[in-house]
Structure 1
């Protein structure tokens, strides 16, 4: 009888090409390529006289540094133009699957690949972006990689990865109404820190996870990288299968039946051994808001900015408060905002936009909000939202309705914060300067971002 295995071990062992003392050479099934982290990799590949090992494994689209408005006017700066041109040229030269800015399916890679059925259970995925962990919601091993790794995957269809430990995070309890996956992730990071999963493959499990939609599971796995995890993963169940059924690139016919047979094995066995276990009760969660410069610097909406002396790292907390322009003891609800950003690979899917529409319908963005952006994660999400009439609700409320892209999540295009501007953001990082030099970012769920837009400060939907 074979030994019990974790979900991670099942997929990992199936993909090992060669094993070394501290690392393995892992076969990569799907390679996602963007315009920012790939140009140098292609240049090096070309200089070495090599070609992509398996062109059909590559899916490419520009997402990081593209305009989300007035695209017909061209790119917003020279670097962005060169990056886009390089991606288009490289995809054309090597015959890679590329969704151009004119393609209705274009968008953020971590939104596009799942909704098209390119992300499938049991596969390995690599992408030059740290939030590639998103795809682990489908029981895939998905790795964020650097530019040199992008070249290795292009040239060899494999990736050198240090051996990872395994961690199981059991989410239990009853999730309160009005609490979302974003709140779970931020509260988890507050409790255990941004280094709790360093060097680990993190699996989310438990009844709470089983009741989450695929969109919510993607949010959880997306933010697992903020805990230091190299992989975030969730086992296959009926929710996974229902999401994938009928997707454009999902298996069809007999292949679908064979896939289901394999996918049904993609969960951790009973009594499988993990290197570390964490348990997190969601029953008493309230909406979460970050106050500092890491996702772990989080409090509940009903709380106040903490005293640095009571924080895990007092010096880091003092620096964060100085950068954020906040004083200890300030109620979170008293913090006025300048901008609202709803988007990113964390919270830009149709489920997120429906939540926002429910909150802002028949309401208006507050006068003190200088700009309120809603940026769908893909052209497909935008089209679905418009078919449902959500864009009319957004526009009537005073939001800007943009084209798909990463946008203000990292501020590489014209969507950014100015010095000192404060933003409620549904994105994944609140580091110094993340959304613009000197910008101050507060991470929240789409519901809280929407309510904050209407109130002009942090608020819950029920208080409007």
Structure 2
């Protein structure tokens, strides 16, 4: 009799070509890969130098998202010569190796982890790899997505396989109803704060519980996207009727009889009832408050009702030193109420929180209000499709009337790799996934939070509890 298996086990077992040793290394077949202009150049150069071809070009999808400008008027020209070369080299490689490219002017263009699901490129049961750590996003659809390095991209393109070491399994059970104003972003930020940025290192996380069941598919993507900030190399949620409904009308989803067959197969994508996990973590969502970060790591976070913590109150010397460094970089004093922190910028975007539901949340907050006079507020939709939908729903005009800049899609101010860069000392309320030193620009200071919280901060001019801000959570 076969032992009970986790959802992670089922993905690896169904894609294992062979065992390579007794240490857990396997040769893993990968169904699909997403390629971007930033992490692929060396991989393609390696293929060219070795005179190798791409084994299965149809399984790859290439996008331009990291370095492209997001100015309101979309143009193909790149102001940065380095970025321009990355984009042109990607186009050259896709042409020569037969890979589909969604370039800057393509109507399907956008951030890879937004467009892959919305195009139906990601399906339950698949194993998908990409040169970006936030490929964990795809676990929300019942797929196994993980980030890989440049040498691995080359190997994957040449062979459709990777040398892979099995992870341990962690189950995170989240139960309880989220209070008004609380979102999936608060759930994952609270988890990262609880277990730390290394708490899931070496693990694949499976999320379950009543809170997860109640989340929309897009909200689940936010949770899986940021699981990597706790150190996880994979994140899963068993696909359910919400996922199937989300996928049914997607351009690349199976149709007709193939859809019926796919649904029958996907029904088995869940952990067995008596499957054992290497670690169990529980989170009570009913106790959560809106979360914000105060430091330079995603786990340096606290409820908005709290204060900047005092390093002297921490007994661990290394942790205390990390906190001191973070507060020095952030220009904050221990004991300062988080709601007193004044911002200069507000940014809504990224592969974490730039989908249509995120923009709807933000629009409900800012409708009929104005951005504070000292704040520059920017909204960058996650894809051209999201942008057009937001315009059709009237959301874009709400943002424009409130004083937000309404931009084209791309990674933008999530990371300082394009022309959307903060200056030293700028302080940004951001819906992104990382608040590392220099992440949004050298010397720039980042506070992570949900899109609705960013919108509220933009209006108030400082971090603020959306539940008591006089806005519409």
TM-score where L is the length of structure 2: 0.97
Q: 2:339–2:465: 8 Å Cα contact kept in structure 1?
A: no
- Aligned mate of 1:226, from 226, 229, 232: 229
**Secondary structure in 1 matching 2:272:** coil
Partner of 2:327: 321
Residue 76 of structure 1: CA displacement? 2.0
Partner of 1:360: 366
Aligned length: 463
Task: Tell whether 2:67 aligns with 1:61.
Answer: no
Residue 143 of structure 1: CA displacement? 0.9
Partner of 2:18: 18
- Whole-Å Cα distance in 1 between the matches of residues 310 and 4 of structure 2? 46
Q: 1:183–1:287: 8 Å Cα contact kept in structure 2?
A: yes
Residue 11 of structure 1: CA displacement? 1.0
- Whole-Å Cα distance in 1 between the matches of residues 251 and 298 of structure 2? 35
Within 5 Å, give how 1:39-58 maps onto structure 2: 39-58=41-60
- Whole-Å Cα distance in 2 between the matches of residues 329 and 10 of structure 1? 48
**RMSD over equivalenced CA pairs, Å:** 1.0
Moved more, 112-121 or 171-180: 171-180
Residue 43 of structure 1: CA displacement? 0.6
Task: Tell whether 2:215 aligns with 1:209.
Answer: no
- Whole-Å Cα distance in 1 between the matches of residues 193 and 97 of structure 2? 45
Residue 460 of structure 1: CA displacement? 3.0
Task: Tell whether 2:197 aligns with 1:191.
Answer: no
Partner of 2:296: 293
- Whole-Å Cα distance in 1 between the matches of residues 54 and 277 of structure 2? 36
CA deviation vs aligned residue, 1:162-187 (integer Å, no higher than 9, x gap): 22111100111222111001001111
Moved more, 436-445 or 20-29: 20-29
Within 5 Å, give how 1:68-217 maps onto structure 2: 68-69=70-71, 70-72=73-75, 74-217=77-220
Residue 2 of structure 1: CA displacement? 2.8
Partner of 1:336: 342
Residue 263 of structure 1: CA displacement? 0.4
**Secondary structure in 2 matching 1:110:** helix
Residue 310 of structure 1: CA displacement? 3.3
Q: 2:69–2:410: 8 Å Cα contact kept in structure 1?
A: yes
**Secondary structure in 2 matching 1:250:** coil
- Whole-Å Cα distance in 2 between the matches of residues 203 and 452 of structure 1? 32
Task: Tell whether 2:37 aligns with 1:35.
Answer: yes
TM-score where L is the length of structure 1: 0.98
- Whole-Å Cα distance in 2 between the matches of residues 334 and 63 of structure 1? 35
Moved more, 59-68 or 303-312: 303-312
CA deviation vs aligned residue, 1:355-399 (integer Å, no higher than 9, x gap): 011100100000110x21100000000010011011100100000
**Secondary structure in 2 matching 1:279:** strand
Task: Tell whether 2:2 aligns with 1:5.
Answer: no
Moved more, 5-14 or 17-26: 17-26
CA deviation vs aligned residue, 1:34-86 (integer Å, no higher than 9, x gap): 00000110010011010111000000111011100144271121110000001
- Whole-Å Cα distance in 2 between the matches of residues 310 and 190 of structure 1? 17
- Whole-Å Cα distance in 2 between the matches of residues 18 and 430 of structure 1? 40
Within 5 Å, give how 1:406-421 maps onto structure 2: 406-421=411-426
Gaps spanning 5+ residues in structure 1: where? Answer: none
**Secondary structure in 2 matching 1:453:** helix
Q: 1:76–1:413: 8 Å Cα contact kept in structure 2?
A: no
Q: 2:76–2:104: 8 Å Cα contact kept in structure 1?
A: no
- Whole-Å Cα distance in 1 between the matches of residues 177 and 110 of structure 2? 34
Q: 2:139–2:224: 8 Å Cα contact kept in structure 1?
A: yes
Q: 1:447–1:460: 8 Å Cα contact kept in structure 2?
A: no
CA deviation vs aligned residue, 1:388-423 (integer Å, no higher than 9, x gap): 011100100000011100000012111111001000
- Whole-Å Cα distance in 2 between the matches of residues 377 and 361 of structure 1? 21
Within 5 Å, give how 1:254-265 maps onto structure 2: 254-265=257-268
Partner of 1:382: 387
- Whole-Å Cα distance in 2 between the matches of residues 161 and 293 of structure 1? 31
CA deviation vs aligned residue, 1:234-286 (integer Å, no higher than 9, x gap): 00111111111111000000100110011000011101011111111111111
Moved more, 424-433 or 152-161: 152-161
4+ runs of 1 displaced by more than 3 Å?
A: none
**Secondary structure in 2 matching 1:283:** helix
- Whole-Å Cα distance in 1 between the matches of residues 164 and 405 of structure 2? 42
Q: 2:387–2:409: 8 Å Cα contact kept in structure 1?
A: yes
